[in-house]
Amino acid sequence: MIVFDGVTKVYEPDVSALDGVSFVIDKGEFVFVVGASGSGKSTLVRLLLKELEPTRGKIIVGGRDLARLKRSKVPMLRRNIGCVFQDFKLLPNRTAGENIAYALTVQGESRNSIRRKVPEVLSLVGLADKMSSFPDQLSGGEQQRVSIARSVVNHPPLLVCDEPTGNLDPDTSVGIMQLLYRINRSGTTILMVTHDREMVDKMRRRVIALEDGRLARDERRGGYESE
Amino acid sequence: MRFRTLTAEAWRSLAANASTTVAATMTVLIAMFILGLSIGLGTWALSWSNHVKKELVVHVYFCVTATCANDATKAEENAVGNMLGSIPEVKSVNFVSKAKAFRIMQKHSPELTKGLPSNPLPDSFEITPKHGEDVELIANKIGHPAGVEKINYGKRTAKAILRVARVIEIVFLLAVIILLAASTLLISNTIRLSIFSRRREIEVMKLVGATNWFVRGPFMLEGLICGLAGSVLAVVLLMLGKEIALPAILGRISESSDAHALAFLWTSLILLGFGIVLGAAGSGVTIRRFLRV
């Protein structure tokens, strides 16, 4: 699903964010990416979305070499990667339903199919009754659920989450994790960047740890810290 | 992108950002109103200066006994007439016989002609140049052929008139250029501010996989609508000014003159076109920077 091969990213003038990182993530995996602030986690996500170009190395997502992907094809790439962010990134002047509908409209879905899919995915994340609420009328956990609903409504093969529970209290976080777990069970590959030590230790999934831009650890059933 | 999606998206953000919409429309309104005023005033001034230039003519006076001891012969007059026909800057030549000149003088100042024993006026040519600026050139080209007493083109007046006319033209051109630049800057600044305040929104759109044109389309349509609304309002204001304020100020003065401003229809079309293009293209260009997500 994802191949990082000796990926190095150097920001101008010479701040090295990632240094020769290599790993392979298979289809259907649930992978945590952990590390201190500034260890290169966010850079990794932005490289995946082709928001940034790597200085050296090769990135393959879904069988496509990102370096060879034309700029005009980037929207297509992003439609195949669901994104969930710490700050939700919902459009503030659209309701929950409209936010999800926008992701579908962008792909040229018909109005009928949008009208069918939006309530479906909202009830999947347990917000069937919040269809016409605006983001500022929703709690943080609810906003994150809307954002997850938006990211999976197209059934992307890959879901990238950048600290999805970073702004949420522990109980709410558990709910979000359960939701992500369910999505993973349905076959979606999930790459989740996180600081949430407890969650990583409890889930016992594959852990990729970054330290100062280097790959420090890659364990099949790891914890937040090396044991 | 389908047309309905495009208009729906544009309409949504126009309504959601009402204050920005109003600000942008007002900016276009003010810029286009001032531009319209200067076009109106400027073209009127240009037409006035052209009108004045048209009055510039060259007179060739032939000899009479009183001035050169003997009258110019018909042959001499014909020779001058032929030469005038061959000067390219000359638009038309009008022969004024001494009898005709006397009649004109009788009409204009009868007290001068009263009691004159005979007609003292010479035959003459009245030469209208193609361009007012050429009167001096034409006078020089004619030179001093036999039988001509003097050539008159109102040297001093002509120079003064031409200078004033040139100043008017330059001032008008400068004013329009400066106003065009200023209104472009003003409008593009408003657009930049409105797009800047929504850059997060654009970022999110790009992250969920919107193509550049999917984001840009509605913005351009918005700009186009604001530009259209602003310039239509400016045209309405100018029309009110023309119909109500102008007659009150000028009274009947302007009726007699053949100086006219550019037809109002054309001014309106220029303003509308400029407003629309500036609104749409301005948005389209400005948004580029924010699409690099």
The model carries a pTM of 0.71
Closest partner residue to B16 (CB to CB) among A93, A107, A150 is: A93
Q: Report which residue type is found at B89.
A: E
Contact B207 A106 (CB under 8 A): no
Sequence length of chain A is 227
Q: Identify residues of A whose CB sits under 8 angstroms from chain B CBs.
A: 49, 51, 72, 75-76, 78-79, 83, 89-93, 102-103, 105-108, 150-151
Other CB atoms within a 10 A radius of the CB of residue B211 amount to 21
DSSP state of A154: T
Query: Strand, helix or coil at A77?
Result: helix
Task: Specify the residue for token string 């001068």.
Answer: B112
Q: How would you classify the pairing of strands A189-193 and A158-162?
A: parallel
Residue B207 CA, distance from chain mean position:
50
Q: Which domains are assigned to chain B? A: 2-52+161-290 (no CATH), 57-152 (3.30.70.3040)
Residue A11: CB atoms within 10 A of its CB come to 12
Domain ranges of chain A: 1-80+157-227, 87-155
Answer yes or no: are the C-beta atoms of B69 and B60 closer than 8 Å.
no
Mark yes or no for CB contact B211/A72 under 8 Å: yes
Q: Calculate how close chain B gets to A226, using CA atoms only, in Å.
A: 34
For residue A105, which residues of chain B lie inside 8 Å, CB to CB?
Answer: 5
Under 8 Å CB-to-CB from B29, ≥6 apart: which residues?
Answer: B230, B231, B233, B234, B237
ipTM for the whole complex: 0.81
Amino acid at A182: R
Q: Which residues, at least 6 apart from B290, have a Cβ–Cβ distance to it below 8 Å? A: B195, B196, B199, B202, B203
Nearest partner of A52 among A102, A97, A1, A11, judged by Cα: A11
**Own/partner pairs, A17-24, CB within 8 angstroms, 24+ separation:** A17/A43, A17/A213, A18/A43, A18/A44, A18/A47, A18/A54, A18/A210, A18/A213, A19/A212, A19/A213, A19/A214, A20/A57, A20/A214, A20/A215, A21/A57, A21/A210, A21/A213, A21/A214, A21/A215, A22/A57, A22/A215, A23/A208, A23/A215, A23/A218
Contact in structure between B121 and B65 (CB atoms under 8 Å):
no
CA distance B33 to B129: 38
Are B112 and B105 a contacting pair, CB within 8 Å?
yes
Residues of chain A with C-beta less than 8 angstroms from the C-beta of B210: 75, 106
* Closest chain A C-alpha to B37 CA, distance in angstroms: 39
DSSP per residue, A23-64: EEE-TT-EEEEE--TTSSHHHHHHHHTTSS--SEEEEEETTE
Domain spanning A1-80+157-227: which CATH class is it, in words? alpha beta
Q: What DSSP element (H or E) covers A116?
A: helix A111-124
Find tokens 């879901």 and name the residue: A159
Q: pLDDT 10s digit of each residue in chain A, 227 long?
A: 899 999 999 988 778 889 999 999 999 999 999 988 888 898 999 999 898 899 999 999 988 899 999 888 888 888 899 999 889 999 988 999 999 999 998 888 888 999 999 999 999 899 999 999 999 999 999 999 999 999 999 899 999 999 998 888 888 889 899 999 999 999 999 999 998 888 889 888 999 999 988 999 998 888 888 76
Show pLDDT as tens, one digit a residue, over chain B (293 residues). 578 888 888 888 888 888 888 988 998 899 899 888 888 888 887 787 777 777 788 888 888 877 777 777 878 888 888 888 888 888 888 888 888 888 888 888 777 777 777 777 888 888 888 887 888 888 888 877 878 888 888 777 777 878 888 888 888 888 888 888 888 888 888 888 888 888 888 888 888 888 888 888 888 898 899 999 999 999 999 888 888 877 776 665 555 456 666 778 888 898 899 889 888 888 888 888 888 76
